[in-house]
Structure 1
Amino acid sequence: MTYDFPDDLVPLQRDWFAVDRDRTAAARAGDDEAFESAGVRFQTLSIALHRHPWMQACETRFQARMALREAAAPAD
């Protein structure tokens, strides 16, 4: 199934990925302050993704979430 994501949703997911990387880097470096700051941002973004009106209205949320992650995934 393909999804037509709203313009703000893919960048929001990309921000989530970036903050997750920042949080992981801070944890590895033992930087508690950066880890806590990234954790707050991570939680805020997670809630924003979960509560996004498009996601709330989506009938197949799990598949939509996986497709969104794939669409926003950083290139390796």
Structure 2
Amino acid sequence: MRLDKFLKVSRLVKRRTVAKEMADKGRIQVNGKVVKSSYDVKIDDIIEIGYGQRIVKARVLDLRETTKKAEAMDLYELVD
């Protein structure tokens, strides 16, 4: 699954276009490398998202095409 779609489905980023823009500006890393929005996310990848001064790190646990709001947290776990 594409990175921008995963971020939207998991609700780490509200909109897919915003996720694409963030990736294109180099504010998203996967396993320590800056990636583009077309990166193919795999289970156990560590995603780092830079929101201004705050950085969110999440490990991918599951991949789904769609999800309900209550189930979105099941797709990842936050990491320190």
Normalised to the residue count of structure 1, the TM-score between the two structures is 0.27
Name whichever structure is richer in helix by fraction.
1
Compare CA radii of gyration and give the structure with the larger one: 1
Normalised to the residue count of structure 2, the TM-score between the two structures is 0.27
